[in-house]
Structure 1
């Protein structure tokens, strides 16, 4: 049986993935716009923050922490390295690389955190504090569903 117009309408109205991706693109664009004055995108900001949080993580550590596949992660790290915001060094043992913020990266992250706080405050005020927290909780629950956990490529 061929799909119907109603089938397609239901996909548009009820597909969780479609709704999340549309929302994600809009939210990402908003964060990118607000971070543009300091020359960062939200993806770069989250990587800088993750690197600072983990303290010299490996690529595998970052992949696990951020849920970004290694190929995409490595491309993003190359840009941050090219821009002088991070260093990537081979560790003495094995084929593991250690990632750290440079002084320039630390300064950029400090400025970005100030803007991030303003962005968060703006969204929370527009959405409402309770709804904001509830949205974060629901997204966390979705990420932790057993059927959703497909894993990140291992180093």
Structure 2
């Protein structure tokens, strides 16, 4: 044998990745664009998209505890705690994480702005139900813990 065998990684050339075809790159790019879109719409009421989602989820009251709420929202628990602290400091939440009158009013003011953001995204997507199904399937399938 005159050179290193095929087992030697130094003989393999890895092609440059095509970012245009990379799901991770495209998803991060789309996520940043969506976040900016919702931020623009919610800016008049001074809420970030995550804060709006937290208020909406708390208003629905379908969570068992903060860990469950974080899972429902797709947030790390520490990110949820930061959002709760900010919303509480703004007077929108009680210490027990219920919406105050000011929180209810801010949510009510934000709701039509959020709906306008939703409508804009839906208009771009076309078939909204299919897009939501794909996103849900990706989240479920790729979010599962790896099997040993």
TM-score range, shorter chain: 0.7 to 0.9
The 1:106–1:56 alpha-carbon spacing in structure 2 relative to 1, beyond 3 Å, is farther
C-alpha contact (below 8 Å) 2:63/2:69 kept by paired residues: no
Q: How does 1:63-82 map to 2 (within 5 A)?
A: 63-82=70-89
The residue aligned with 1:141 is 137
C-alpha contact (below 8 Å) 1:57/1:100 kept by paired residues: no
1:51 pairs with 48, 52, 58, which one?
58
C-alpha contact (below 8 Å) 1:55/1:100 kept by paired residues: no
Alpha-carbon shift at residue 65 of structure 1 (Å):
1.2
C-alpha contact (below 8 Å) 1:56/1:100 kept by paired residues: no
State the alpha-carbon separation in 2 of the partners of residues 78 and 57 from structure 1: 19
Rg larger in 1 or in 2?
A: 2
Q: Please give the TM-score of this superposition, normalised by the length of structure 1.
A: 0.78
C-alpha contact (below 8 Å) 1:35/1:42 kept by paired residues: yes
RMSD: 1.9
Q: How does 1:72-111 map to 2 (within 5 A)?
A: 72-89=79-96, 99-111=97-109
C-alpha contact (below 8 Å) 2:125/2:131 kept by paired residues: no
> Does 50-59 or 75-84 show the bigger shift?
50-59
Alpha-carbon shift at residue 137 of structure 1 (Å):
0.8
- DSSP-derived class of the 1:88 partner: coil
- DSSP-derived class of the 1:79 partner: helix
Q: Please give the TM-score of this superposition, normalised by the length of structure 2.
A: 0.82
Gaps of 5+ in 2: 1-9
Task: Name segments (4+ residues, structure 1) moved above 6 Å.
Answer: none
State the alpha-carbon separation in 1 of the partners of residues 13 and 57 from structure 2: 44
